Amino acid sequence: MGKMCESCGMPMGKDPQGGGTNADGTKNDKYCSYCYADGRFTFEGELPEFRDLCRRAMVEGGMSRFAEWLFTRGMGRLPRWKQR
């Protein structure tokens, strides 16, 4: 399996921007563009709220509720959330 965003778990190959951006404008290879832009996280809350935000976005994008649950259930094991 390819590289995944260390915040949301999305495969980096699915990111239309090819990754987030650092403060100096360079690409960040740890986080996707939905989670990280201009050297900061786009969401600063806690994991439960972030998981809900991601689930809503997936359902609005046409994903089934089962699929969004499947893809978000392991978020707490991702590096961004493990270090909290």
Q: Is the dihedral of CA 61, 64, 40, 1 positive or negative?
A: negative
7 in a domain, yes or no? no
55 in a domain, yes or no? yes
Rounded to whole angstroms, the Cα distance separating 30 from 6 reads 6
44 in a domain, yes or no? yes
Q: pTM for the full model?
A: 0.89
72 in a domain, yes or no? yes
b/e burial code for range 24-43 (CB count within 10 A of at least 16 → b): eeeebebbbbbbbbeeeebe
Lookup: tokens for 38:
């201009």
Summarize pLDDT for 49-69 with one digit per residue, the tens. 999 999 999 999 999 999 999
| Domain count along the chain | 1
**CA nearest neighbour of 72 among 1, 7, 2:** 7
pLDDT of residue 42: 97
Domain ranges, residue 45: 12-82
